[in-house]
Amino acid sequence: MADALVETRLTNGLSCELPPDSPLAKLLKSQRTWSGPDARTRQRILRSAHSVAIVGASPNPARASYFVGTYLLQSSDFRVYFVNPNAAEILGRKAYPDLASLPEVPDIVDVFRKPSDIPAVIDEVVAVGAPTIWVQLGIWNEEAARYGESKGLTVVMDRCIKVEHARFHGGLHLLGFDTGVISAKRLAR
C-alpha cells in the first residue's frame, strides 16, 4: 500500500504522503505553490531587456498576442520578433517559424501557448540561450515553471507583459486600464 502514496508538498514547505486519488491530494495539487519573480524583479527584467520574441503570436487582430505585439511595437523600445510557423508576417513584420530562426537571441521569450506546451517551449528557450521565459496571463503550468528554473531560466508566469510594462512605465492607459493619474510627465519607454 505504501507504493500507492504520493509525496505532496504543502504551501508551508512541508510534505506528506497521500493516496493520489484522495480529495486532499487533488485539492493540494490544484493549489499554487510556486511563485515567480516579485514586482521589483519583473521591473528589472523589463528595464534591462532590449528584445522580446512572442511565441504563439497571431496575425488575427482579435487575439491577445496581436494586441500585446501592437503595444510592444508602439509603446516600448524593444526589438519585437513574432514566432509562428504558420504565418509569414504579423503586424507588418516577418514571422519566424521558431526561436532558432531569429536574427538574435531575445532577452525575453513571451509565450502565448497552452499550458501543456510550455515545457517544449522551455526546451527551445534553453537551446537558443534566452535568459527569460514570460508566460502570458491566464497560462499556468507549475511543473513547467520549476522545470524552467532548473534549467537556469528566469520564469515569469500568468502575467501579461503588456500590463506589467505599462504598469512599470506609468502608462496603464493605452487601450488598457485607466490609471487615474493626471500628469504632464512624458511616459518612459
pLDDT digit string (tens) for 72-112?
999 999 999 999 999 999 999 999 999 999 999 999 999 99
> Percentage of the chain with pLDDT > 90?
66
Looking at the domain assignment, is residue 184 inside a domain?
Answer: no
| Claim to verify: residue 122 and residue 141 sit in the same structural domain | yes
Cα(117)–Cα(31) distance, integer angstroms: 20
| Claim to verify: residue 26 and residue 78 sit in the same structural domain | no
Number of domains in the chain: 2
Which residues, at least 6 apart from 165, have a Cβ–Cβ distance to it below 8 Å? Answer: 46, 71, 72, 75, 76
| Claim to verify: residue 23 and residue 109 sit in the same structural domain | no
| Claim to verify: residue 68 and residue 107 sit in the same structural domain | yes
Tell me the chain's radius of gyration from C-alpha atoms.
19
Whose grid coordinates read 494586441?
Answer: 67
| Position 12 confidence tier, pLDDT thresholds 50, 70, 90 | low
| Claim to verify: residue 116 and residue 162 sit in the same structural domain | yes
User: Per-residue pLDDT averaged across 14-24, rounded?
Assistant: 75
The pairs formed by 29-35 with CB atoms below 8 angstroms and a separation of 24 or more are 32/140, 32/142, 33/9, 33/142, 34/142, 34/145, 34/146, 34/157
- Within 13 Å, how many C-alpha atoms sit on residue 157's CB side? 25
pLDDT digit string (tens) for 26-68?
666 666 678 899 999 999 999 999 999 999 999 999 999 999 9
**Continuous segment of H or E residues that includes residue 25:** helix 23-30
Domain range for 3 is 1-33
Looking at the domain assignment, is residue 173 inside a domain?
Answer: no
| Claim to verify: residue 108 and residue 137 sit in the same structural domain | yes
Which pLDDT does position 169 carry in this prediction?
Answer: 77
Looking at the domain assignment, is residue 64 inside a domain?
Answer: yes
Looking at the domain assignment, is residue 29 inside a domain?
Answer: yes
Helix, strand, or coil here: 110?
A: strand
Looking at the domain assignment, is residue 113 inside a domain?
Answer: yes
Looking at the domain assignment, is residue 123 inside a domain?
Answer: yes
| Claim to verify: residue 72 and residue 131 sit in the same structural domain | yes
| Claim to verify: residue 25 and residue 58 sit in the same structural domain | no
Which pLDDT does position 182 carry in this prediction?
Answer: 45
